[in-house]
Every structure is written in structure tokens, then in C-alpha cells.
Amino acid sequence: MIKILVVEDERPINDLIEMNLTEAGYECTCVYDGISACDAVEKEVFDLVLLDIMLPGADGYEVLEYIRPMEIPVIFLTAKGTVEDKVKGLRLGADDYLTKPFEIVELLARVESILRRAGKTQTEIVVDDVVIDTRSRSVRRGNKDIQLTMKEYELLLLFVRNRNIALFRETLYEHVWGSDYMGDSRTVDLHVQRLRKKLHWEDKIKAIYKVGYRLEV
């Protein structure tokens, strides 16, 4: 299982990140200051670090310099959103930079992107009796192969990586179809209906009134 270190001193934010990463299938270790972050990477091997900048003990820049020789991918999570701050973080070696406040769906997408770039993506995702093999882009339910179109497969990945999170139709459309949402929900609704039927997930992918859909597992 992919292991992620979350370094964030605001406990509600830390807890929210941990909850959503855990539900997405990652194993999380959470610390709340820079010194503890340095101690954690000395004791365990992590695939990714989510790192706040304004931390007690040692700030995020100092922590990044400490762990950089270990070649662990790092995403900065911070309220310091100026261009100068972003440039400084990236020049110090951060792989990505996400400004607070951020949407959880965007964080999960950034995490997946960095892990994929580092060659550390999960190759198999299991949700109830459905198994998704991301290498072969295949889906099984029990012992039966499920034939999905490319868009249905991408939609399924988005749901399972954001399980128990309400996703707006706009979010689904922009992530799966790769273009701005024009307000026509028929395309999204049709693909969700087909996905539900193929996976027998009529009771799991729930419609959220005036919002979109949520995979409840």
C-alpha cells in the first residue's frame, strides 16, 4: 500500500486530509510540526509527503531541504499563495504546490498525478467486490470481466478515488471529458446510469439533488 506522510499543524485540516486519503486507499501517517516530520521520514519509508509551510519547530522549507536527499516526492499545502512563494517552493525541490483553501478532489488528483510521475501508483484498487487493475485498465466484479468504455472507466476511477465525497456534475465533466462544463448534464447522467448498471451499483452511486453524485461505500 502507498504510504503518505501528512505534515499539517491545523488538526481539522490534517484530519480531513487523512480521512479522504484513507478512503481513497492510501496509508497515512500524520504529524503536526516540522521536527516530527523529520523524525518520521527517518523511521519509515514514504511514497509521498504533503507538507505545510508555516509549521512549528521547523518550517516547510527547512523540512523539504532535510528530506530532499531521500528523493521523496513532496506537495506543498499552504496558505502562502503568491507567485514568489510558489517559485521558491518549486526551486527548493517541491513537486507540486497547492494553495489553501483547496478542494479535496483536486488534492487527490494532484496526489495521483505525482505518484504516477514517480512510478508509484496503485496498480490494483478494490471496492467491495469490484477490482480495478490500473495497469491493464481492466475491471472485474467477482470472477466476471466488466467491459467499460474509456469514459466509463475514467468516471469509475474518479468515483473510487473520491469515495463518499459528493462530486459536482461540473467536476465529473471537467475531469473525465477534459473540457469546461457547458451546463448540459445529459452526458454525465447517461454515463453514470450505464456505469451503475454494469457494476450493479444502483445502490452505491447516489444522486445528490442539485449537486451531482456520490459513491457510498
- 59 shares its domain with 141: no
Q: Which of 35-39, 48-52, 63-67, 87-91 has the lowest mean pLDDT?
A: 87-91
- 140 shares its domain with 162: yes
| CATH code of 13's domain | 3.40.50.2300
Range of the domain at 182: 124-215
In DSSP notation, 54-99 reads: S-SSS-HHHHHHHHGGGT--EEEEES--SHHHHHHHHHHT-SEEEE
Nearest alpha-carbon partner for 62 in 52, 71, 77: 52
| CATH code of 136's domain | 1.10.10.10
- 106 shares its domain with 141: no
The residue from 75, 94, 117 where one domain ends is 117
- 7 shares its domain with 102: yes
Total number of domains constituting the chain = 2
- 88 shares its domain with 143: no
Which whole number is the average pLDDT over 83-109? 87
C-alpha span between 163 and 21 (Å, rounded): 10
Q: How confident is the model over 172-194, as pLDDT tens digits?
A: 998 888 877 676 778 999 999 99
Q: What percent of the chain has pLDDT over 90?
A: 57
pLDDT, residue 207, reads: 95
C-alpha span between 85 and 96 (Å, rounded): 12
- Report the SS3 class of residue 42: helix
- 155 shares its domain with 57: no
- 92 shares its domain with 73: yes
- 25 shares its domain with 106: yes
- 113 shares its domain with 128: no
The residue from 117, 142, 171 where one domain ends is 117
- 7 shares its domain with 113: yes
pLDDT, residue 122, reads: 67
The residue from 61, 93, 117 where one domain ends is 117
Q: Tell how far CA 99 is from the center of its chain.
A: 15
- 175 shares its domain with 79: no
Q: How confident is the model over 17-28, as pLDDT tens digits?
A: 999 998 888 899
- 131 shares its domain with 95: no
